[in-house]
Structure 1
Amino acid sequence: MTDITGMANKREMHAAAPYPRRWPMLPVLLAALFMAQFDLYVVNVAAPSLQHDIHAGQAALELIVAGYGFTYASGLITGGRLGDLLGSRRMFLVGMLAFVVASLLCGLAGGPGELIAARLLQGLAGAAMVPQVLAIIAAVFPPAERSRAVAWFGVTIGVGAVAGQVIGGALLQVDVLGLGWRVIFLVNVPIGLAAAALALRLLPHPQAAVRPELDPVGAAGISAALAFALLPLVLGRTEHWPLWTWISLAASVPAMALVLWWEAALARRGGQPVLDLTLLRSPALARGLVICLAAFCSFFSFLFVLTLVLQSGLSLSPLAAGLTFTPLGLSFAAASIAAPRIAVRQGARLVTTGYAVAAAGLIGLYVDLHLSGAHTDVARLIGPLVLIGLGNGLAVPALTGVVLAGARTAQAGAASGILTASQQFAAAGGVAGIGTVFFAALGDRHGTAGYASALAWVAALDLALVLVACLVSRSLWNPETAEG
């Protein structure tokens, strides 16, 4: 009996042992997130080349840039749920290979229509692979190590976005093999193939098979409801806000309500809805979504507008403009790496601390823009940029860890899909909405003073959003409140 008990205990200890390849596996997972983030922002620096080489008009450029973001954001929840049903490893590999194919099609596109179609496919592929990153981290890393792994997830979000500006500008400047703008897409092909090959070796196999029960009505409904909201935000400014944009925005609310009703009814019948509404009963996730919507809308709209100010207002080259983002990217990365150790002492308070630091950077930027006006230059921007990067770098990993801590392993894909979708929706909505305010404030002015004034308006709006994130994050401090 003693021998049998001892053997059972050994089997339990073996089953509970952490996956031995988890740390070599992590860079492979993060490569997928990096590529997805990189391709969200790299097209901005290639816009002039696209206009010249394939005669892409303003509307086509909007769709090339935002079409990817739309299919990416609208497909993340479905991608997360499919990972829960079909296996995160399988979905990661399928998504990665599809992303490689879509990137190749982008690089070979002969006209705007072909490039738009390939970008839409690229966004869907990103939505298939990215939710699996957090899901696999949550399933494989033990609690003592999970915060460190999630911190690297946070590092990759910010660094990938900034790298889209810096590396994209460098690739265009060097003109690798005379490929011009095509290189920004083709570079994904060897990286993606290498990541897929390593993933086959390093990603764990699923421990148990789950019989898939797809929810096509829910998946299509969620995508349609998000499309009603995102498309007007993306195209409204260039189309001068025609009637259809307002009708579409108004329709997005009842459309989403109808989808939520369907998902709840399906769950009551014992089905498997693509959006598990029981996840939203967690106060940590519900409040975390509010924080993500406010903070990511602020951060990524700021990155977008600052790119315009640097290139058009200060007349910097794409490479020089990209390099200006380096202090923000480095402070973001350094803070994200340090965040887990600080979180041991501060816990969820680190989210509030981080966004308070970001708010200080936006206040400094707003004041400086009003004082400098036409004399605004890169040197005056560095201090506020460092604070903005530092604050977001502290907050994002801590927020992700707090929000996902309460999700069960079986729901990790769905929870990460909802969280990542809210982040990307906020980023796309912020770029479109706050970008519209920027262009309205800019008007017909083309000098440095005009761009500085318009950027000051954006800084004020982004500050208000960050303060909302600060206030809501205070409710995460109480563990009982946060975990529900």
Structure 2
Amino acid sequence: MSQTSPSESSSLADDPRRWIVLGVLLLAGFMNLIDVTIVNVAIPSLTRDFSATSAEIEWVVAAYILSFALGLLPFGRLGDVVGRKRMFLLGISGFTLGSALCGIAPSIEFLIAARIVQGVSGAMMMPQVLALVQVTFTREERGFAFSLFGVTAGMAAVTGPLAGGTLIAADIYGLVWRPIFLVNIPIGLFALFMGWRLIPATRRGAYQPIDFGGVLLAALTVLFVVFPLVEGRELGWPLWCFAMMIAALPLAAGFVRWERRRERLNKTQLLPVSLLTNRHFLLGLTMTAALFAGIPGFFFVIAIFLQVGFDFTPLQSGLTTVPFSVGVFLASLVSGRFGSSYAKERLVAGPLVLAAGMASLLFVVSTVGDGFDHWAFTAPLILAGLGMGTTVAPLFATILTVVEDRDAGSGSGALQTFQQIGGALGVALLGQIFFSSLGDATTADAYRSSFRAALFLQIALFLVLACLASRLPARAGEAKRAAE
């Protein structure tokens, strides 16, 4: 079942085109990441154009998140078997098609269906992105390569609202919100062409039966966690939301037992048991969920705080958060130069800097009046961005250290699944704290108080992340031995 032999991996690592390939992978990843946030800006326009209900609008966002999260693990594994380049090209083709369908959607139902196409295609594409980095670059180069993914993630978080606000305000040819999807078409076609020309083909693995039982159990587990997190707050957290999340525990246990059974029978596993039982890998997944519980939830809350509480336009709100990306960019460039050195130290320091950035933002929010200059947020957001940029590269590289090349797609799919679960959990928790504190109040002081309450949870999350990082092995060699 091995797909990439040691010699093949070495030839890929020696290919001079690998840095151009990385640019193509980053472009595809950026296109997917930005699509998660850019839609939020268009919600008022979508509501008006389609006379949509709040539930229908919610599903424009939820359909993408759910289909994306459900597909990451199975499509990651499928890339290990049928070829990562092939799966990446299929994914980016489908994502571009889905974007075109979104842009021409004649009804809200059609738009929701097109968002599912985008989500499934993104799930085909994204695990291959990290897996191709894993097998294309040497261990010494991966630190810098993953640092650029940190830059991409940070830029996408703030560029989505910024680009969405700009495109909607421009009202190109009277299309209002449609260009936020249509802009993906030329980008997707370019990435498809460059990927087809430049990404080296990896050999297909020997045929193995698909682990349909594992796919079903994994999908149900993710569904039972993500669906209530996405829907719960809007529905007032009915009992069935908590029942689903509790039911996810026996489903997860059943998945592990199923994979162990297939290992004993020498059959293909959706997620290799060697990873399921590796403490280092599981701790890394928990850290990923903790980190991404903080970041998407933060941008969700700060957008409401600025746009609703202080009447910022989407464009002004996006510009206010740009310093975060600046911090991510600067820290990622520095962090990448360390390669795999001092990974544990950076994984402890990064969340502490993030917590310090949120604490300084908490102080600033406590001192602003009913009207404030967006420049007041600059220093805290740069500091938080520095923490994020310091954390992402060593986190991804450290987690994937214990993943063999033949399982790179499966490992990457698991990592990104936990990233999505963390993001959904963070938005749900921070949103609940923010809106519970806000209640029916509409004053600037009420919004300040609610934002401060959310920031306290942010600080706690990043402090927990630093504590988890302190439990990691000090060196990559120790992590490798833990996998054996």
The answer, yes or no, to whether TM exceeds 0.5 is yes
Mapped to 1, the partners of 2:337 and 2:181 lie a distance apart of: 36
Residues 1:252 and 2:258 aligned together: no
Mapped to 2, the partners of 1:352 and 1:175 lie a distance apart of: 45
Q: Which residue of 2 aligns with 1:115?
A: 111
Q: Which amino acid aligns with 1:470?
A: A
TM-score under structure 1 normalisation? 0.94
Q: Which residue of 2 aligns with 1:175?
A: 171
Mapped to 2, the partners of 1:69 and 1:267 lie a distance apart of: 31
The one-character-per-residue Cα deviations of 1:161-195 (angstroms, maximum 9, x if unpaired) are 22111111111111222211111111111111111
Q: Structure 2 matches for 1:33-432, cutoff 5 A? A: 33-207=29-203, 209-342=205-338, 346-372=342-368, 374=370, 377-432=373-428
Higher mean C-alpha displacement, 335-344 vs 229-238: 335-344
Mapped to 2, the partners of 1:44 and 1:184 lie a distance apart of: 11
Over 3 Å counting, the alpha-carbon distance change for 1:177 and 1:337 in structure 2 is: farther
Q: Does the CA-based 8 Å contact 2:146-2:392 persist in structure 1? A: no
Q: Which amino acid aligns with 1:325?
A: T
Shift of 1:268: 1.7
The one-character-per-residue Cα deviations of 1:189-226 (angstroms, maximum 9, x if unpaired) are 11111111111110111245431421122112211221
Mapped to 2, the partners of 1:351 and 1:385 lie a distance apart of: 19
Shift of 1:32: 1.4
Mapped to 1, the partners of 2:287 and 2:386 lie a distance apart of: 17
Mapped to 2, the partners of 1:213 and 1:229 lie a distance apart of: 28
The one-character-per-residue Cα deviations of 1:412-439 (angstroms, maximum 9, x if unpaired) are 1111111111111101121122212211
Q: Which residue of 2 aligns with 1:482?
A: 479
Q: Which amino acid aligns with 1:348?
A: K
Mapped to 2, the partners of 1:142 and 1:425 lie a distance apart of: 29
Structure 1 outlier segments of 4+, above 6 Å: 11-14
Mapped to 2, the partners of 1:260 and 1:120 lie a distance apart of: 28
Q: Does the CA-based 8 Å contact 2:141-2:339 persist in structure 1? A: no
Aligned length: 474
Structure 1 unaligned runs (5+)?
A: 1-10
Q: Does the CA-based 8 Å contact 1:38-1:164 persist in structure 2? A: yes
Shift of 1:86: 0.9
Mapped to 2, the partners of 1:88 and 1:233 lie a distance apart of: 31
Mapped to 2, the partners of 1:412 and 1:351 lie a distance apart of: 22
Q: Which amino acid aligns with 1:256?
A: A
Q: Pairwise CA RMSD of aligned residues?
A: 1.9
Q: Which amino acid aligns with 1:138?
A: Q
Q: Does the CA-based 8 Å contact 1:80-1:413 persist in structure 2? A: yes
Q: Does the CA-based 8 Å contact 1:284-1:481 persist in structure 2? A: no
Mapped to 1, the partners of 2:309 and 2:390 lie a distance apart of: 30
The one-character-per-residue Cα deviations of 1:21-47 (angstroms, maximum 9, x if unpaired) are 111111111111111101110011111
Over 3 Å counting, the alpha-carbon distance change for 1:297 and 1:279 in structure 2 is: same
Q: Which residue of 2 aligns with 1:7?
A: none
The one-character-per-residue Cα deviations of 1:110-157 (angstroms, maximum 9, x if unpaired) are 222211121122111101000001111111112232221111122112
Mapped to 2, the partners of 1:16 and 1:395 lie a distance apart of: 27
Mapped to 2, the partners of 1:304 and 1:322 lie a distance apart of: 12
Mapped to 1, the partners of 2:473 and 2:309 lie a distance apart of: 42
Q: Does the CA-based 8 Å contact 2:93-2:192 persist in structure 1? A: yes
Q: Does the CA-based 8 Å contact 1:284-1:482 persist in structure 2? A: yes
Q: Which amino acid aligns with 1:169?
A: G
Mapped to 1, the partners of 2:43 and 2:405 lie a distance apart of: 42
Shift of 1:286: 1.5
Higher mean C-alpha displacement, 416-425 vs 55-64: 55-64
Q: Which amino acid aligns with 1:48?
A: P
Q: Does the CA-based 8 Å contact 2:85-2:199 persist in structure 1? A: yes
Q: Does the CA-based 8 Å contact 1:84-1:412 persist in structure 2? A: yes
Over 3 Å counting, the alpha-carbon distance change for 1:124 and 1:450 in structure 2 is: same
Mapped to 1, the partners of 2:70 and 2:429 lie a distance apart of: 18
Over 3 Å counting, the alpha-carbon distance change for 1:12 and 1:66 in structure 2 is: closer
Mapped to 1, the partners of 2:305 and 2:100 lie a distance apart of: 31
Shift of 1:247: 2.1
Q: Which residue of 1 aligns with 2:4?
A: none
Q: Which amino acid aligns with 2:374?
A: V
Over 3 Å counting, the alpha-carbon distance change for 1:373 and 1:295 in structure 2 is: farther
Q: Does the CA-based 8 Å contact 1:314-1:377 persist in structure 2? A: no
Over 3 Å counting, the alpha-carbon distance change for 1:147 and 1:55 in structure 2 is: same
